[in-house]
Amino acid sequence: MTEIVVVIIIVAILVALGFGLIGMVKGGREGSDKMFKSLVTRVTLSVLLFLLVLFSGYMGWIEPNVVMVDAPVAQSPAQK
Hey, where are the domains in the chain? Answer: 2-59
Q: How confident is the model at residue 28 (pLDDT cuts 50, 70, 90)?
A: confident
User: Residue 72 pLDDT > 70, yes or no?
Assistant: no
Distance CA 38, CA 23 (A): 9
Backbone angle region of 53, left / alpha / beta, with phi > 0 → left and psi within -120 to 50 → alpha: alpha
User: What pLDDT digit, counting tens, does each position of 31-66 carry?
Assistant: 788 888 999 999 999 999 999 999 999 998 888 887
- pLDDT, averaged across the chain: 86
How open is the CA angle 50-44-35, to the nearest 5 degrees? 135
Its pTM stands at 0.72
User: Residue 70 pLDDT > 80, yes or no?
Assistant: no
